[in-house]
Chain A
Amino acid sequence: MSTTNYIDMNDMKLQLKIWRQKSADQKGYFETYTVHASEHMSFLEMLDVLNEQLIQERKEPVVFEHDCREGICGACSMVINGQPHGPNGGTTTCQLHMRSFRSGDTITIEPFRAKGFPILKDLAVDRSSFDRIIQSGGYISVNTGQAPDGNSLPIEKGVASKAFDAAACIGCGACVAACPNGSAMLFTSAKVSHLGLLPQGEVEHANRVQSMVAQMDKEGFGMCSNTGACEAECPKEISIENIARLNRNYMASMFSTDK
């Protein structure tokens, strides 16, 4: 398949300043690399080129998390030039393409940094705290087989659509990385809104709000101070409106009899 019709591979020359850290308990440092890339590559494909180069030099490739490479699994996570998922709004790192950079650029690449996300190696961090927040109440308690007919409960289109907007969260953690306080309020509020806006999720709503917020605090995530950085950096453009809703829900749930 190496036809000459393909685009020029080497039309860009970049300096990469990448965070290297052997393991959680070792000190990290920046290392600078030069890499040639094409503007049609995705950012991760550019890193693939770097890693192939490092392997050829018998060095250890840079560890970074990635999987679907189509912006939906939430695995990719790095901070690029100070911004989680890089410069483009509403875009995950894997969907970021090199045409957003210029030849000659120096690009700084770091892991997400937050107390709730300890670094594992190089650019990979541990986000299992998000799983534990969901396990604390981010579900509707319905066993398989208990459900009534899908159309037995009409849900207003607008409500379903709002719930969807919140449910679009991919659990990547960019909101936490963007927040000066390392707060997980956008993530948590998106789940609370997704389930709480729907009639199916109403029954357990107050309990859910209480236990998810408690778990979030337990994981060491910071408080929300309404800077809005989370919304700005969220690759799925989840609205900060969800945080306001969670705050209202939290107050209301304090007085709920159902907890």
Chain B
Amino acid sequence: MSSINLNSKVPKGELADKWTQYKSSMNLVAPNNKRRIDVIVVGTGLAGASAAATLGELGYNVKVFTFHDSPRRAHSIAAQGGINAAKNYQNDGDSVWRLFYDTIKGGDYRSREANVHRLAEASRDIIDQCVAQGVPFAREYGGLLANRSFGGVQVSRTFYARGQTGQQLLIGAYQALARQASVGKCKIYNRHEMLDIVKVDGKARGIIARNLLTGELERHAAHCVVLATGGYGNVFYLSTNAMGSNVSAAWRAVRNGALMANPCFTQIHPTCIPVSGDYQSKLTLMSESLRNDGRVWVPKKKEDAVAIREGRMKGNDISEEDRDYYLERRYPAFGNLVPRDVASRAAKVACDEGNGVAPTGLAVFLDFASAIDRYGRAEAYSQGNQNPSESQIISLGEKVVEQKYGNLFEMYEKITGENPYKNPMKIYPAVHYTMGGLWVDYNLETNVPGLFALGEANFSDHGANRLGASALMQGLADGYFVIPYTIGQFLSGEIRTPKIANDTAEFVEAENAVKERIENIMSINGSQSVESFHRRLGKIMWEYCGMARNAEGLKKGQKLIQELRAEFYKDVFVPGDTMEFNPELEKALRVADFMELGEVMMADALNRNESCGGHFREEYVTEDGEAKRNDQDYTYVAAWEWDKDGNIKLHKEDLNFENVELKTRSYK
């Protein structure tokens, strides 16, 4: 078995100095050469838009691709809670080191130290950049920036813009991109989907894209290709991802020799609106920031839980002593603010024990009554009312809660038809984010030279679990402050490379292969819809590779996916034509890729005989039911190859911890 050398290219030196020293010593591309170099960026979310805009500012010729009708629709837009930065504006002891440490620990010691430290360093510049762009972050009365806290940390370092932080940050990056488009440095290809990478002499030199309106295939050439195409949570069908979010760009990279790293590390977010029916198309997140004030509980008595499920009782009917605030009970130090993986598993345990509260039995309460009471009293006091009545307290408290979370409460009510001010919310974990992704080195370059991956599309910074408000940070760090430097390490070797031609044999061959793939899927002409296959894939993934996994289930899951794939290629039906606007065809190509990825995720989960972060193997638990890591055997990145014959092979990058001591993660 040939082995791929996974050289992380982490520079030498002290952890805190690595990035600064590296930046000062790396190869540069002179302005006159930048003008001659073409870069393709696929994806226009936070990572893609910020990278494209910045590369354009630097003078490169950038072509930007999105399958959306506008770059502003990328799913970064939906991030609610906030963005972390080690500014220490609150004077509460935050620092670059602490953000670095929290991220490493939160990730359950499965990420690369040097990458995470660089991320923490860049976090501070991100806030400055976004403020300068006009991002309307929340502010204090004195006009300075406000912060709040998030799960898994004990400082307030999260900057936010109401419950729409992702939207505001993306609009900032989108506007920076629009500015480069207006001066011709970035050319934006809306409604274009990347369907393959083109390699010339082993280097990534272009892509095949399908114009989604006309169905035409286009060959686009460049000196290098940057993928910022997001995560693969939709492999589970039901997730908080947008309907269009997909793995195809990343998966096409894998089919061209790139490696998929730690694909089994998926984040199940604890606070989502529960599933209500089989028709459901997606799940909606309720921001983690709600756990600052909401208390999570289930009834202590099973008969109460049954009564609630059957609609005979409501949450408010359960007296205080009959409630189990299980997070506060099990994790007194962090309480309701434990990290996401811990909170999600605890909810699953509560429901598995029969104490769940929705008709499906799969929901727990998130209750704001104590927060409303607490805020109401404080507000009454500050208004000079020392003896407020119960109704005054509630009305004042509800106003404060509305100010903090109004848009989330409104969204909850629209979806469920229930008023969360008066009744506790019902929530349940749902697939939200994928820590795994394309393997990249310190330069964010995959093992295919000239092919880079940024943001959620790469695996690099979050280990086995991502902390809240860190996805936006990573996307923007990669795009604004890392790739603009590290891309020079590759491009400085290309200054003598002339414009890449798009009519060479490699491009023609790649285009023909895509054409064949499309014709193949269109010609099956079976009887089942693409959607029905996607749903079935999602159920297999959730059942056998979801919140809790075991060897037996994973083996079964692998088999079921293989069978599903075979059935797909025999019986899928894609209506319409190839050469037209055909969303069903787009979906079919994406689902086909998801099915291959799903198999690799199962293999990865099966290989990792430990529980860590979002990966929980039922065979590996401590006596009190917590995740049991195995540092001896699994302190490595599992990077998977999909070879020409469809065989999957494991490659390992050992993780070396020189600055942090590996400890059992405890939030008790």
User: A160 contacts which chain B residues (CB < 8 A)?
Assistant: 136-139, 143
Interface range, B side: 35 or more
A144 and B129 contacting across the interface, CB-CB below 8 Å: yes
Task: Give Cα A50–Cα B488 distance, bound, in whole angstroms.
Answer: 51
B284 and A70 contacting across the interface, CB-CB below 8 Å: yes
Q: Which of B525-565 contact A (CB under 8 A)?
A: 529, 531-532, 539, 542
B538 (CB) vs chain A CBs: closest residue:
A1
The count of chain A contact residues (Cβ–Cβ below 8 Å) is 86
Task: Give Cα A150–Cα B87 distance, bound, in whole angstroms.
Answer: 9
User: B213 contacts which chain A residues (CB < 8 A)?
Assistant: 120
Q: Is B92 an interface residue (CB 8 A)?
A: no
Q: Is B145 an interface residue (CB 8 A)?
A: yes
A195 and B134 contacting across the interface, CB-CB below 8 Å: yes
Closest CB in chain A relative to B589 CB, distance in Å: 16
Q: Is B455 an interface residue (CB 8 A)?
A: no
B128 and A148 contacting across the interface, CB-CB below 8 Å: yes
B128 and A149 contacting across the interface, CB-CB below 8 Å: yes
Q: Which of A137-177 contact B (CB under 8 A)?
A: 137-151, 153-157, 160-161, 163-164, 167-168, 170-171
A5 and B411 contacting across the interface, CB-CB below 8 Å: no
Closest CB in chain A relative to B286 CB, distance in Å: 10
Given contacts A58-B573, A151-B89, contact A138 B73 (CB under 8 A): no
Q: Is A102 an interface residue (CB 8 A)?
A: no
User: A131 contacts which chain B residues (CB < 8 A)?
Assistant: 70-72, 178, 188, 190
Q: Is B631 an interface residue (CB 8 A)?
A: no
Closest CB in chain A relative to B124 CB, distance in Å: 9
Q: Is A229 an interface residue (CB 8 A)?
A: no
Task: Give Cα A184–Cα B48 distance, bound, in whole angstroms.
Answer: 28
Given contacts A3-B360, A150-B87, contact A44 B277 (CB under 8 A): no
Q: Is A251 an interface residue (CB 8 A)?
A: no
A40 and B175 contacting across the interface, CB-CB below 8 Å: no
Q: Which of B57, B164, B529 contacts A168 (CB 8 A)?
A: B164
Q: Is B484 an interface residue (CB 8 A)?
A: yes
B175 and A138 contacting across the interface, CB-CB below 8 Å: yes
Q: Which of B402-453 contact A (CB under 8 A)?
A: 410-411, 414-415, 417
B69 and A198 contacting across the interface, CB-CB below 8 Å: no
B143 (CB) vs chain A CBs: closest residue:
A154
Task: Give Cα A91–Cα B414 distance, bound, in whole angstroms.
Answer: 9
User: B202 contacts which chain A residues (CB < 8 A)?
Assistant: none
B417 and A68 contacting across the interface, CB-CB below 8 Å: no
Task: Give Cα A144–Cα B132 distance, bound, in whole angstroms.
Answer: 10
Task: Give Cα A56–Cα B530 distance, bound, in whole angstroms.
Answer: 11
Q: Is A84 an interface residue (CB 8 A)?
A: no
Q: Which of B145, B242, B580 contacts A23 (CB 8 A)?
A: B580
Task: Give Cα A90–Cα B407 distance, bound, in whole angstroms.
Answer: 11
Q: Which of B288-345 contact A (CB under 8 A)?
A: 309
Q: Which of A9, A66, A168 contacts B278 (CB 8 A)?
A: A9
- Majority secondary structure, A binding face: loop
Q: Which of B54, B73, B309, B529 contacts A75 (CB 8 A)?
A: B73
User: A99 contacts which chain B residues (CB < 8 A)?
Assistant: 417
- Of the listed stretches A122-130, A220-228, A239-247, chain B binds A122-130
Q: Is A49 an interface residue (CB 8 A)?
A: yes
Task: Give Cα A201–Cα B135 distance, bound, in whole angstroms.
Answer: 11
Closest CB in chain B relative to A45 CB, distance in Å: 5
Q: Which of A48, A58, A60, A136 contacts B281 (CB 8 A)?
A: A48
Given contacts A55-B575, A97-B415, A134-B174, contact A146 B132 (CB under 8 A): yes
Question: Of residues B70, B143, B279, which shows the largest number of chain A Cβ atoms within 10 Å of its Cβ?
Answer: B279
Closest CB in chain A relative to B172 CB, distance in Å: 9
Given contacts A55-B573, A131-B190, A150-B87, contact A144 B57 (CB under 8 A): yes
Q: Which of A108-125 contact B (CB under 8 A)?
A: 120-121, 124
B132 and A142 contacting across the interface, CB-CB below 8 Å: yes
B69 and A63 contacting across the interface, CB-CB below 8 Å: no
A128 and B190 contacting across the interface, CB-CB below 8 Å: yes
Task: Give Cα A7–Cα B275 distance, bound, in whole angstroms.
Answer: 11
B145 and A150 contacting across the interface, CB-CB below 8 Å: yes
A198 and B411 contacting across the interface, CB-CB below 8 Å: no
Q: Which of B131, B411, B581 contacts A124 (CB 8 A)?
A: B581
User: B54 contacts which chain A residues (CB < 8 A)?
Assistant: 143-144
* Chain A window 67-89, contacts with chain B (Cβ cutoff 8 Å), 1 for yes, 0 for no: 11111111100000000000000
A144 and B144 contacting across the interface, CB-CB below 8 Å: no
B281 and A128 contacting across the interface, CB-CB below 8 Å: no
Besides A67-B242, A95-B411, 20 more A-B contacts (Cβ < 8 Å) are A5-B309, A5-B361, A42-B281, A60-B575, A131-B190, A135-B178, A140-B133, A142-B132, A144-B53, A144-B484, A145-B481, A148-B132, A150-B145, A151-B87, A160-B136, A160-B143, A161-B136, A168-B164, A171-B70, A200-B131
In the complex, the 8 A-B pairs of residues with the closest C-beta atoms, listed nearest first: A154-B143, A147-B132, A139-B175, A147-B128, A164-B136, A150-B131, A67-B242, A144-B54
Give B residues with C-beta under 8 Å from A: 50, 53-54, 57, 68-73, 75, 77-78, 87, 89, 125, 127-134, 136-145, 161-162, 164, 166-168, 171, 174-176, 178-179, 181-182, 188, 190, 213, 242-244, 275-282, 284-285, 309, 359-361, 410-411, 414-415, 417, 480-481, 484, 529, 531-532, 539, 542, 573, 575-576, 580-581, 583-584
Q: List 19 A-B contacts (CB under 8 A).
A: A7-B276, A38-B279, A41-B279, A45-B279, A49-B279, A52-B531, A70-B411, A73-B73, A97-B414, A120-B581, A139-B175, A144-B484, A147-B131, A148-B132, A150-B131, A155-B139, A160-B136, A171-B70, A200-B132
